[in-house]
Structure 1
Amino acid sequence: MPEVLFYHLTESRLEEALPDLLERSLARGWRAVVQCVTTERRDALDQHLWTFREDSFLPHATDAAASAATLQPVLLTTDPAQRANDPQVRFMVEGASPEAGWGDAKRGVYLFDGHDDHQLQLARERWRAEKAAGNDITYWQQTEDRRWAKRA
């Protein structure tokens, strides 16, 4: 069973928080899948990860480039069953759900916008479902200085 973390964005947007979390995952030697609900969000994140900071490079691909998908440490997808890069961590964004399960991932991460009522409701539902499944879950919330504080 994976460790499941809930990250409650209150001070920054997904585009600001996700690259740092991906860099931390890569520093551990993990490969990651970022699961989006829409192809528009997937493609926007794809573009953003190339330019989010001038002094950084975050190697990634989308599942639209299937031949490159297995080679990339970060894979952006809308497919809940996508595991082409054999990820150790799966990120769920914009309300995505691991409908096909976490697979062999060591960690599952929900990133949700605290200013979006729909995403808040989905996160609450996922919390209950993950708890009922017996997963080890933790809840992290941003502080005013955009750091993460463990709340539960």
Structure 2
Amino acid sequence: MAEIRFYHLQRQGLEEALPKLMEKVHQAGLRAIIKAENKALIDTLDKALWTYDANSFIPHDKDGCKHPAEQPVFLTATDENPNDANALVLINAASYEEIEKFDRCLYMFDGRDEVIVSQARTDWKAYKELGLEMSYWQQRENGGWEQKA
């Protein structure tokens, strides 16, 4: 059953926060799917994962690549799991049909967008009703995370 961690972005943008969390996911030996709702955002996140730190590398690729099964991190707009991921990252209230198939779900949402925040609240309630294990994390001033619930 999935453990869902809601990450409320308030101080850093997604392009800054996502790579740091993905480092932790990768270091933990997890394979991940990052789902965003559109190709433009996928391209932005792909670039962020390539360029966020000259001394670090998170192996990844995105929809349309030749070998998705070989990617530890895969960016997509679909509900497919071509890399046999055990971690799911939902970006800005993206949905996924069978979230319970993953060991862990990171639900990252932009706290500066009221539409996304409203959807995150709705999703929190829905996942809670399913009886999934959940936690809520807010960004600290320095960009780190603090568990609030």
* Same-fold call, TM cutoff 0.5: yes
Unaligned 5+ runs, structure 2: none
Q: Secondary structure at the match of 1:29?
A: coil
TM-fit CA distance, 1:112: 0.5
Conservation of the 8 A alpha-carbon contact between 2:86 and 2:102? yes
Matching residue of 1:96: 94
Matching residue of 1:42: 42
TM-fit CA distance, 1:97: 1.1
Conservation of the 8 A alpha-carbon contact between 2:5 and 2:105? yes
Match of 1:112 among 109, 114, 118: 109
The 5-angstrom pairing of residues 1-152 of structure 1 reads 1-65=1-65, 67-79=66-78, 81-98=79-96, 100-102=97-99, 104-152=101-149
Unaligned 5+ runs, structure 1: none
Conservation of the 8 A alpha-carbon contact between 2:91 and 2:108? yes
**1:68 counterpart letter in structure 2:** H
TM-fit CA distance, 1:95: 2.1
> Percent sequence identity over matched residues?
38
Higher mean displacement: 35-44 or 100-109:
100-109
Q: Find runs of 4+ consecutive structure 1 residues off by over 4 angstroms.
A: none
TM-fit CA distance, 1:103: 5.1
Report how many residues are paired: 149
Take 1:103 and 1:141, find their aligned partners in 2: how far apart are those partners?
A: 23
Conservation of the 8 A alpha-carbon contact between 2:34 and 2:90? yes
- Give the root-mean-square deviation of aligned CA atoms: 1.0
Name the TM-score, length of structure 2 as normaliser: 0.96
